[in-house]
Structure 1
Amino acid sequence: MRVYNNFDLVNYNSYRVNSKCKKAYFPESEEDVVALYKSTKDFVLLGSGHNTILSKPYYNTSFLVFNGNFNAVAINESENVISAEAGASILEVSETAEKHNLTGVEFYYDIPSSVGGAVVMNAGTKEGETKNILKKVRYLDLTDMLVKEKVNEELGFEYRNSMFQKQNDKIILKAWFQLTQGNRLEIRKIMDESKARRWSKQPREYPNSGSVFKRPPGKFVGPMLDELGLKGFTIGGAQISKKHSGFIVNVDNATGNDILSVIDHVKTKVKEVFNIDLEVEQRII
């Protein structure tokens, strides 16, 4: 396990906000994770840093980071199941599936997230959601410090939500994905087409953390903000993307406070005009 003092988090959050933490731990195994939480529960858990807003320039606390570590991916070919530790990227899950002619997880390709983060928020696109392929999850329950497992039906999946988002005393350790046999060429075609669609619409040229707000029933966030004339609205270095209004991008050394100020402005305007309370999809730390 690697441990760093006064750790720079700029490359560990996709907004590329300048932020540091007092100490950062990079566990390599389930045993490492359990041992750390037995020593103290005072950790901020950070996965791949996507779908996350670091609101402070400095955190006087310890971070537990799953990013480039605790990331083993394995396959059970006889059952068409892929297992992955919480720090693995869902990109690797999708590419492992493709190599073994397994279909069902193509929508994960090019979605920036760790496995743990994807389960927590039921990550997905219009092509599919995590709940459609997740078989079971292994997690550490901080209430009694026991490692437990739950199957899909027990995880309370909703649109961009799960029991893990509502109960932050449970730390995901590993996930199993149930897939089916497919044709590798067709799988690759779906993956490439899905990536091309996202790149054509999303502002990949600037640091961002994906869609900022959950889609309210019967509405789309981007068109609402366009109607309000908010495309390009900027506070400090944070800007509502000129390419897709559902995204906030870091155009000039944005701080976490810049991003949150843009969010507050958007929520106020949408409430005034549409009487809708937008819900932030991203995790604010």
Structure 2
Amino acid sequence: MKYYKDFDLTNYNAYRVKAICKNAFFPENEADLTALYTKKQDYVLLGSGHNIICSKPYYDADFIIFNGNFNTLKVDETTSVIEAEAGATILEVSNLAQKHSLSGAEFFYDIPSSVGGAVVMNAGTKEGETKNILTKVRYLDLADMLVKEKHNEDLELSYRNSLFQKQNDKVILKAWFQLQRGNAVDIKSIMEASKARRWEKQPREYPNCGSVYKRPPGRFVGPMLDELGLKGYRVGGAEISKKHSGFIVNVGNATGKDILELIKHTKEQVKAAFGVDLEVEQRII
């Protein structure tokens, strides 16, 4: 297991906000993770960093990071199941599926997330959600320090939500995805078409963490912000994207404070104009 003191988190959060944590641990296996939690339980968990806002420049805290580690992938050709550790990316899952002519994970291709993060958030697009292919999750239950498994129907999976958001004393270790046999060329074509659609609409040219807000019932966030003239509105180095108002981008040394102030202003404007309470999708740490 790798360990670093005063670890720079700038390249471990997709907003590329400058932040440092007191200690960072990179576990390689379940034994490493269990050993860490046996000592104490107040760690900050960080996956690929694609759905978080670093609110502080310095954290007097210990982080456990799943990024480039804890990322083994296995494919079972007989059952068409991919087994993935929490630190693997869902991009890697989709590429492995395509390589083995397995269909069902195409929508994963251009969602930036770790497997653990995708399960926690029930990550998805218009083409599909994690819950559609997730069959089972293995996790460490901090309540009794036992490793347990739960199947899809027991995970309370809903729009950008799951059991693991509601109960943060459970640490995801591994997930299993049920796919179907398909044609590798057709699968690749679907993946590339999905990516092209998303890149056409989303501001991939600047650091960002994807959609900032959950979609409110009967509404779309982008059009509301456009109507309020908020597209391009800036606080410090954080800007409501000129390409898609549902995104905040770092256009120049944005801080966590900049991003949070921009969110606060946006929520106040939307509430006043439309009576809608925007719910932030991203995790603030």
> Is the structural similarity TM-score above 0.5?
yes
- SS, match of residue 95 in structure 2: helix
- SS, match of residue 254 in structure 1: coil
1:1-285 matches, within 5 Å, as 1-285=1-285
Residue type matched to 2:92 in 1? E
Deviations 1:40-68 (A, max 9, x none): 10200000000100000000010000000
Residue type matched to 1:19 in 2? A
* Unpaired runs of at least 5, structure 2: none
Residue type matched to 1:37 in 2? Y
- SS, match of residue 94 in structure 1: helix
CA distance in 2, matches of 1:109, 1:31: 30
Residue type matched to 2:226 in 1? D
CA distance in 2, matches of 1:105, 1:38: 35
Q: CA deviation at 1:227?
A: 0.5
CA distance in 2, matches of 1:41, 1:117: 19
Q: CA deviation at 1:215?
A: 0.3
TM-score (norm 2): 1.00
- SS, match of residue 62 in structure 2: strand
- SS, match of residue 192 in structure 2: helix
- SS, match of residue 3 in structure 1: strand
CA distance in 2, matches of 1:130, 1:81: 14
Number of corresponding residues: 285
CA distance in 2, matches of 1:120, 1:77: 27
CA distance in 2, matches of 1:75, 1:34: 25
TM-score (norm 1): 1.00
- SS, match of residue 203 in structure 1: coil
Q: CA deviation at 1:223?
A: 0.6
Q: CA deviation at 1:110?
A: 1.5
Residue type matched to 2:108 in 1? Y
CA distance in 2, matches of 1:83, 1:30: 15
Instruction: Give the percent of matched residue pairs that are identical in Structure 1 and Structure 2.
Output: 71
- SS, match of residue 279 in structure 2: coil
Residue type matched to 2:122 in 1? N
Residue type matched to 1:139 in 2? Y
CA distance in 2, matches of 1:159, 1:274: 22
- SS, match of residue 136 in structure 2: strand
CA distance in 2, matches of 1:126, 1:108: 11
CA distance in 1, matches of 2:197, 2:70: 31
Deviations 1:19-76 (A, max 9, x none): 0000000000011111110111020000000010000000001000000000000011
Deviations 1:189-247 (A, max 9, x none): 00000000011000011000000000001111001100010000000100000000000
- SS, match of residue 258 in structure 1: helix
CA distance in 2, matches of 1:36, 1:76: 31
Residue type matched to 1:69 in 2? N
CA distance in 1, matches of 2:9, 2:16: 8
Deviations 1:3-29 (A, max 9, x none): 000000000000000000000000000
Q: CA deviation at 1:163?
A: 0.6
- SS, match of residue 161 in structure 1: coil
CA distance in 2, matches of 1:109, 1:41: 33
CA distance in 2, matches of 1:39, 1:156: 30
